[in-house]
Amino acid sequence: MLNKIYTHGQKLILAAGLLFCFVLVRFYEDELFYDPFLNYFRGDYNQMPLPEFDFSKLSLSLLFRYTVNMLISLGLIYVIFKDKMMVRFSIYIYIIAFFVLILSLFLVLHYYGADNNFLVFYIRRFLIQPLFVILFIPAFYYQKRNS
């Protein structure tokens, strides 16, 4: 009984630490990442033109932030489920999703520009926020419970 409490306590502390890492990434986003859209989407962006941005700097910054969030998410999935197959599957999904999202973002930026701010906002949101882990944890829980 005591061993079970100790094991779950460790799992909770590790999960809380990883969740705190997400908070730190969000708190220091201005210092860590190049993203001219951060301030743009904080304002009244429907009335403003898209900000100037460096394509290569933005793509590298998005890759860096996505990777940081992905690594924290993978750690959280492993701490919760202790299943390497789930982590490996998540890696594949994260990589495929990154290429689809980054391609979609830059196609929308290039061809639609300021005409479609909401699409830019939501595609970018999936790149910079750890939304996939919010989808994966309940899905993996359901999968594990039913198998």
| Rounded mean pLDDT for each run of 10 residues along the chain, 147 residues in total | 70 94 94 81 67 85 95 96 95 97 90 75 89 94 90
Question: Is 4:31 a contact under the CB 8 Å cutoff?
Answer: no
Query: What range defines the domain where residue 103 resides?
Result: 2-146
Tokens of residue 119, six digits: 């699409």
Integer Cα distance of 34 and 53 in angstroms: 9
Instruction: Quote the number of domains for the chain.
Output: 1
pLDDT number for residue 104: 93
For 47, the 3-state DSSP assignment is coil
Which residues fall within 8 angstroms of residue 61, CB to CB, at 6 or more apart? Answer: 33, 34, 35
Integer Cα distance of 128 and 73 in angstroms: 13
How far is C-alpha 113 from the chain's CA centre? Answer: 23
